[in-house]
């Protein structure tokens, strides 16, 4: 409890410090996608990781040499900690998130300042507008980040993926960049303010998947290919069969190899 209290207090002070920095950056940022301002916001993730020694993040996989080469970035989603943890990747990408988060004081203001994309899940028109905005970012050479599960996993398994991110990637003719994350589920347990026990979190950048020759008819195959690649990584980290991390599979042992 003491560790959690100190961490939250320090994090709150950092967030309060970051807000005026973002406001100043936004004032002088002439990039149409606010790349510098957004990247400064992601740096908050580095700071939050630094002040929390219980989060031991291990990043591996592909190296992105050109940060302005746009990708449709997708990841599995285990906890709220995924957002600051993934923000430690060394490039800017606009995050798509539910509108309720954008209404929060300070954090919501910073998301708006950095150009992130809000979605009202109760309004289909809002979803369409969000995808249009995301496509504009991609066209202006800025990556976009979406959790295709839609929400955090409840049991640690990878939930079904929605099609939106993959439709967008194919329409914009940009590669899909899958991310696999594991170990973050108990970093900030759901419905609790206390941080979990010290844990190792693995974040891997998987090889990008080219969409330049794909059509909308390829969306289901692309979606399933990306989800399978992510599940394989999670299963390997846990040393279990892939069926044990598949949210669509029944919970039972299987002889099928990973």
In the predicted structure, residue 168 carries a pLDDT above the cut 90: yes
How would residue 258 be classed by pLDDT, with cut points 50, 70 and 90? very low
- Which pLDDT score is estimated for 243? 95
Per-residue pLDDT tens digits for 122-162: 888 898 999 999 999 999 999 999 999 988 898 999 999 99
Kindly report the average pLDDT of the chain as a whole number. Answer: 92
Q: List the 93-98 sheet strands across, edge first.
A: 55-61, 199-205, 176-182, 72-75, 143-146, 93-98, 117-119
Per-residue pLDDT tens digits for 191-239: 666 677 778 999 999 999 999 999 999 999 999 999 999 999 999 999 9
Question: Could you tell me which CATH number the domain at 2-244 has?
Answer: 3.40.1130
- Global pTM value: 0.92
Per-residue pLDDT tens digits for 73-101: 999 999 989 999 999 999 999 999 999 99
* Mean per-residue pLDDT, 53-58: 91
How would residue 7 be classed by pLDDT, with cut points 50, 70 and 90? confident
């Amino acid at each position: 409890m003491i560790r959690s209290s100190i961490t939250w207090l320090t994090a709150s002070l950092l967030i309060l410090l970051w807000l005026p920095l973002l406001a100043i950056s936004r004032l002088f940022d002439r990039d149409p996608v606010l790349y510098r301002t957004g990247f400064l916001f992601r740096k908050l993730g580095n700071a939050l990781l630094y002040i929390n020694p219980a989060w031991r993040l291990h990043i591996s996989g592909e190296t992105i040499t050109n940060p302005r080469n746009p990708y449709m970035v997708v990841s599995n989603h285990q906890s709220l900690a995924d957002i600051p943890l993934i923000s430690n990747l060394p490039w800017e990408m606009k995050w798509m998130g539910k509108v309720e988060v954008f209404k929060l004081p300070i954090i919501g203001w910073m998301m708006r300042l950095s150009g992130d994309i809000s979605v009202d899940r109760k309004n289909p028109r809002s979803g369409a507008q969000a995808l249009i905005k995301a496509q504009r970012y991609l066209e202006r050479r800025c990556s976009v980040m979406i959790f295709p599960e839609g929400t955090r996993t409840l049991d640690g398994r990878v939930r079904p993926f929605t099609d939106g991110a993959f439709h967008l990637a194919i329409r914009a003719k940009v590669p899909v960049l899958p991310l696999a994350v594991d170990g973050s589920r108990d970093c900030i347990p759901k419905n609790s303010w206390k941080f979990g026990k010290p844990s190792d979190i693995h974040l891997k950048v998987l090889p990008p998947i080219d969409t330049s020759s794909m059509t909308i008819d390829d969306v289901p195959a692309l979606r399933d290919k990306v989800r399978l690649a992510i599940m394989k990584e999670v299963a390997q980290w846990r040393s279990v069969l892939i069926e044990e991390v598949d949210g669509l599979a029944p919970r039972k042992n299987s002889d099928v190899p990973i």
